[in-house]
Amino acid sequence: MEDQNDTQIDLAKVVKAIFRKLPVIGAITVIFALAAYAYCLWFMPPVYSTHVSFNVTNYQGYSESMKVQSSDVTTSNILVYSYAAMMKTDRVLDEVAKNTGLGYSAAQLSSMISASGMMDETQLLEVTVRCNRPDHAQTIANVVADVAPAVIQEVIKGSSAEVIDYPKLPSRPISPNPIRIALIGALIGLVLSVAGVLLAEKFDLRIKSAEGLAADFDRPVLGTVSGGEGYTELKNNIRFSFTERGCRRVAVTDTGDGAGKERVAARLASALAGDGKRVLLIDADPGRAGIDGIFGLNPLPGLSNVLVGDAELGEAMRKDVRPGLDAICAGSVPPSPVELLGCREMRALTDGLADGYDYIILSAPAAVGEAEGRLLRELSHGVVSVVRARSTGTDKIRAAADILSAAQARLIGFVYNTDKKNAREAQIK
């Protein structure tokens, strides 16, 4: 049953990928069809065809007193195959080449001339001539009609071949067929484009849906956000993720690919404050600061300045950036941000601030290493990982989840961010 479910899921992904790329597939199919059509018109020479028909018998001459025996007909049927084979011999082709006067060699004529019985078990032989010029095709066929029977009769004694239909001048080419070539080109384009889509889907590790994210990593998607939308759901899911009393510390992180954790942390903090909660937002990622730009705050002094003793906490605290929401910017960029955040002063600072707030939301460093994993565990009661739609790869998410698990940090769930804006592009209004 598990294998069957996996197959159904894979098939669903394939169908979705094809439908998602239908415009591209259609465009490639049309391009291949047009290219094949143009190639047919401009580069494929036309081929004209005409034919001459013979009645082959195993006797020469005829009178009313002669009776055709069944054995004669059977022998004539066999002769048709012999005549057809003789038409491709150098002896016949050399004679035809000499009499056409068109400059074709026997080898060239061999590729132009074909012969076969017109129907099974009949005495009728048809010789077909195909050439790039209609007048040459007719001339060659006429020469075959005039000289070939005599040459063949020198070898196959007692036989005869009478012309039934003389060749006509072909009025239109039999090939190439532009429509057929275009359809073949379209089919090739369709197959190649669909194969390309499926290969791209197979090797594309980017997350394409919130449902796929939750299924692949067995963690809930706490909210799907875009711009200012989706934060009510995220806020409610965060509130129900904690049963302990007192201040909840939530670290908002990502996989280091700019998934928008700064903006998610800022809007989440604003949404919680909008519910009447006292919230502190800390930009705990001095290496990739963003809170100051989002709220239009003076970045200095900030968290790093407080931790190294260059500023007092009161100087770094930005009170009521929104009703019920205070903020601390990242401050100056230290040589080793993770090492600075892991110091005892940082833990003492968050512990000391806990009594004054219901929530402390930290825009935390990306979970890209063992040190970051330990830091996220020490600073928070739970970690929220932001994933950028169609950008963040499953390999990075899995690596971050493994880092958090090894550090025994609690991964509450994911935020699926469909917003294409960077965290620093615009302030929150």
Q: What is the model's pLDDT at position 67? A: 43
Q: Determine which of 58-72, 136-150, 161-175, 336-350 has the lowest per-residue pLDDT on average.
A: 58-72
Q: HSE-up of 262 (CA within 13 Å, CB side)?
A: 27
Looking at the predicted structure, is the pLDDT value of residue 62 above 80?
A: no
Domains 48-165 and 210-417 share a fold: no
Q: Give every strand in the sheet of 48-57, ordered side by side.
A: 113-117, 124-131, 48-57, 160-165
Q: Three-state DSSP class for 286?
A: helix
Residue of 74 and 425 predicted with greater confidence: 74
Q: How far apart are CA 389 and CA 224, in angstroms?
A: 10
Q: What is the pLDDT of residues 313-324, one digit of tens each?
A: 999 999 999 999
**Domain boundary assignment for the chain:** 2-44+176-203, 48-165, 210-417
Residue 289 has pLDDT above 80, yes or no: no
Residue type, 394: T
Q: Tokens at residue 243, please? A: 């049963």
**What is the mean pLDDT of the segment spanning 363-379?**
90
Pairwise CA distance, residues 253 & 200, whole Å: 28
| CATH number listed for the domain at residues 210-417 | 3.40.50.300
| Per-residue confidence (pLDDT) for residue 68, from 0 to 100 | 41
Q: What pLDDT shows up at residue 242? A: 86
Q: Which of 255-281 are b and which e, b meaning 16 or more Cβ less than 10 Å from the residue's Cβ? A: bbbbbbbbbbbbbbbbbbbbeebebbb
- Binned at pLDDT 50, 70 and 90, residue 6 comes out as very low
The predicted pLDDT at position 279 comes to: 96
Q: Can you say whether the dihedral through the CA atoms of 262, 266, 267, 271 is positive or negative?
A: positive
For Cα atoms 23, 26, 27, give the angle at the middle one, nearest 5 degrees: 85
Cα separations in angstroms, 334 against 253, 256, 285, 307: 19, 18, 10, 10
pLDDT bracket for residue 427 (50, 70, 90): low
Task: Tell me the β-bridge partners of 206.
Answer: 393
Does 417 score more than 80 pLDDT? yes
CA-to-CA separations, 1 to 4, 5, 8, 216, in angstroms, rounded: 5, 6, 11, 18
- Residues of the chain with pLDDT > 70, as a percent, come to 91
Over residues 139-152, the mean pLDDT reads 95
What's the mean pLDDT in 247-256? 91
Checking DSSP bridges between strand 48-57 and strand 160-165, what pairing results, if any?
antiparallel
> What percentage of the chain has pLDDT greater than the value 90?
56
Q: Which of 62-66, 197-201, 280-284, 332-336 has the lowest mean pLDDT?
A: 62-66
Sign of the torsion angle spanned by Cα atoms 312, 316, 320, 324: negative
What is the pLDDT at residue 368? 87
Position 3 scores a pLDDT of 44
Listed residue (282, 226, 287) closest to 250, CA to CA: 282
Q: Which residue has the higher pLDDT, 429 or 295?
A: 295
User: What is the predicted pLDDT for the residue at 226?
Assistant: 87
For residue 60, pLDDT beyond 80: no
Contacts of residue 36, Cβ cutoff 8 Å, sequence gap at least 6: 181, 182, 184, 185, 186, 188
pLDDT for position 59: 65
CA-to-CA distance for 166 and 329, rounded, in angstroms?
A: 97
**Facing residues of 47 across strands?**
175
Q: Cα(377)–Cα(351) distance, rounded to whole angstroms?
A: 14
pLDDT (0 to 100) of residue 317: 94
**For the domain 48-165, what is the CATH code?**
3.30.70.1130
Please give the Cα distance from 49 to 113 (Å, whole number): 10
Instruction: Quick: pLDDT tens for 95-105.
Output: 999 999 999 99
pLDDT tens digits for range 257-270: 788 899 999 999 99
Q: What sections of 120-257 are H helices per DSSP? A: 134-155, 178-203, 210-217, 231-239
Alpha helices (runs of H) in 67-133, residue ranges in sequence order: 70-86, 90-100, 106-112
Share the mean pLDDT of the chain. Answer: 87
